[in-house]
Amino acid sequence: MSFINESIIYNIYPLGFCGAPIMNDNKQEYRLDKIYEWIDHYKELRVNAIVFNPVFESTKHGYDTRDYYKIDKRLGDNQSFKRICDTLHSNGIKVILDGVFNHVGREFWAFKDVQEKGSNSPYCGWFQNLNFGGSSPYGDPFWYEGWAGHYDLVKLNHHNRDVVNHLLGAVSFWIDEFDIDGLRLDVADCIDVNFFKELRALCKSKKSDFWLYGEIIHGDYTRYANPEALDSVTNYECYKGIYSSHNDHNYFEIAHSLQRQFGGAYGGGIYRNIYTYNFVDNHDVNRIASTLRDKNHLANVYTLMYTMPGVPSIYYGSEYAIEGVRSNTSDEALRPCLDFHNLVNPNLELCSFLGRLGKARLGLKAVKYGTFENVNIKNEQLVYKRQYEDQTVYIALNLAAEDKNMDFKVDGDTYLVDVLNNYETFQANGWANISIPAYSARILVQGSADFRLPEDQCQNSEPQQEAPAAEEITETPVAEEPAVEVEEVPVPQPVHLGRYRHFKGGEYEVVGIAKHSETGAEMVVYKNAMDGSLWVRPYAMFNEVIERDGKKMLRFAPMD
């Protein structure tokens, strides 16, 4: 089984998230370093994997690649991105990149060579249907195929061995250099499946649990996701079914899709062997808070997405219910720059709910691995069952504006414990009658009345190494000793210059308090007492109380 079964994904469109210029100005900026201040937020959401949309050098929006081997200057450089990946990994967060392999931009180096040398260029065969029998819409003295009629996106020829080698070489470099854990394959339905077979062989040889999923809008998912090609695909069928079922007050729609894709007891299950990538919005479609006619349905939308078969994904900012609608000419409204400390009208209640929902998902093996079966379907209420080994979980949803009761069969004399709502407990004797409040859901675990979710590993996890945030830092810190004993309930004191002991045992010296040049946030500058390496960490994070193995302690305790 892949790590993805144990994952909750957070999807970022970096150029938008960082507020990068729309056109690449070729100025070196380290905008993506802002992600450091979001890490604690990801952990509160129980996120343990991030999908980055394009990060490599491009002309405009990231999907018009210039160079597969260089991080876009608007975001950083290879070294700064490597540090980001190392820090995410040390915080238990996997890294998945966007593989844009169907097409490149007009400023891609090999295409520019064709523009300069014409038919004498050795790269003429790199591009689909390139010929010198006419001119392109851009006035080139040759014709070529553009993706979906967009001639700023030059389609690659995947039957050319040099093209395949160049792309596979880039992926090999990404794994070796950044230690990435997976790939999203852009417009996968436009790429020769044989390329995916070679890609799979390469990636799995380097990392056996490397995860590959393709962007598929429609068609048969098994053509692309199978034991020889990709592991998974984007589940656009259920994306549409989730929001329209709520907008139309018709749970039969999504129930039908779930049964068709994953059902077992009553037929269906055509994608039962695919762990689909599930989502309710992304950088190409309207934000879910804008799509829903009634925002009271947000909690149920996410509950459905988190508890159906497959892996759930949050699009950055949607945990706060931010809105965004694409226009006929631009997707920019879907891809805003977000400042963690200055969010506009954030829905904090939804964000907190997603943290609880994530804890329930990660703590229930039936939800992560189990079979699917519809149990009771009504227009405004739905109950389905997930079952794995000795665990049975019922998900009950009510989209109506008033409380409703739902009946369904259970196995024998048992209890149902709602792990989403303060462990509220119901007794059932072969038959359950459960009240579901308006606009809400229950995640009901069958069995003992004292069932509780396992310890929340995501909340308690700590980095395995200190995370650098300054550009000049390149050294890796030395291994630290086991944690030292501290007071049971320590009280943070103002940070001062002097020596501190990290909770894992390492000794450091605070050399100054600085301000972040972009956000004004206070930062602690400190150095490793053993090797002199410099580190920068947000003041609040340096000075916070953390919990480790059930004990509260200072992250850094003063030594004098």
What pLDDT score does 480 carry? 42
* 424 has pLDDT over 60: yes
pLDDT digits (tens, 9 = 90+) for 298-357: 999 999 999 999 999 999 999 999 999 999 889 999 999 999 999 999 999 999 999 999
Reading the block at residue 560, the tokens are 């004098």
- H/E segment holding residue 257: helix 251-262
Reading the block at residue 93, the tokens are 């967060």
What pLDDT score does 485 carry? 40
Banded pLDDT at 533 (limits 50, 70, 90): confident
- Residue 134 and residue 162 in one domain: no
- Residue 500 and residue 541 in one domain: yes
Average pLDDT over residues 499-517: 86
Helix axes 298-307, 236-247, angle to 10 degrees: 150
Among the three residues 363, 389, 411, which one is the final residue of a domain in this structure?
363
> How far apart are the C-alpha atoms of 264 and 498, rounded to whole Å?
63
Tally of structural domains, the chain = 4
393-402, 424-433, 459-468, 509-518: which range is least confident on average?
459-468
> 435: which residues sit within 8 A by CB, 6+ positions away?
403, 404, 405
What pLDDT score does 503 carry? 82
**CATH code: domain of residue 139:** 3.90.400
In a domain, 257, yes or no: no
Among the three residues 363, 387, 406, which one is the final residue of a domain in this structure?
363
Average pLDDT over residues 88-94: 97
In a domain, 469, yes or no: no
> 148: which residues sit within 8 A by CB, 6+ positions away?
none
- Residue 89 and residue 226 in one domain: yes
In a domain, 55, yes or no: yes
- Residue 419 and residue 490 in one domain: no
Domain interval for residue 126:
103-157
- Residue 217 and residue 351 in one domain: yes
- Residue 127 and residue 163 in one domain: no
What pLDDT score does 339 carry? 94
pLDDT digits (tens, 9 = 90+) for 288-297: 999 999 999 9
Taking alpha carbons only, the member of 73, 148, 166, 74 closest to residue 111 is: 166
* 464 has pLDDT over 60: no
In a domain, 465, yes or no: no
Banded pLDDT at 421 (limits 50, 70, 90): very high
Banded pLDDT at 518 (limits 50, 70, 90): low
In a domain, 466, yes or no: no
- Residue 152 and residue 196 in one domain: no
What pLDDT score does 448 carry? 94
Taking alpha carbons only, the member of 250, 234, 417, 363 closest to residue 310 is: 234
In a domain, 222, yes or no: yes
The percent of residues in the chain predicted with pLDDT above 90, rounded, is 80
51-60, 477-486, 536-545: which range is least confident on average?
477-486
What pLDDT score does 471 carry? 40
Average pLDDT over residues 142-167: 97
What pLDDT score does 520 carry? 61
In a domain, 306, yes or no: yes
- Residue 125 and residue 37 in one domain: no
Banded pLDDT at 267 (limits 50, 70, 90): low
**CATH code: domain of residue 13:** 3.20.20.80
What pLDDT score does 481 carry? 39
What pLDDT score does 409 carry? 95
Average pLDDT over residues 224-241: 98
Judge contact between 252 and 379, C-beta under 8 A: yes
Q: What is the mean pLDDT of the chain?
A: 91
- Residue 286 and residue 370 in one domain: no
Banded pLDDT at 479 (limits 50, 70, 90): very low
What pLDDT score does 455 carry? 79
Banded pLDDT at 457 (limits 50, 70, 90): low
What pLDDT score does 529 carry? 85
What pLDDT score does 516 carry? 72
What pLDDT score does 460 carry? 39
End-to-end CA distance of the chain: 49
Among the three residues 91, 122, 157, which one is the final residue of a domain in this structure?
157
- Residue 138 and residue 225 in one domain: no
- Residue 215 and residue 284 in one domain: yes
What pLDDT score does 465 carry? 39
* 406 has pLDDT over 60: yes
* 482 has pLDDT over 90: no
**CATH code: domain of residue 420:** 2.60.40.1180
* 141 has pLDDT over 80: yes
Average pLDDT over residues 381-388: 97
> 514: which residues sit within 8 A by CB, 6+ positions away?
522, 523, 524, 525, 536
- Residue 210 and residue 231 in one domain: yes
**CATH code: domain of residue 498:** 2.30.30.320
7 exposure class (CB count in 10 Å sphere: 0-12, 13-18, 19+): buried
In a domain, 421, yes or no: yes
The percent of residues in the chain predicted with pLDDT above 70, rounded, is 92
Banded pLDDT at 459 (limits 50, 70, 90): very low
What pLDDT score does 559 carry? 87
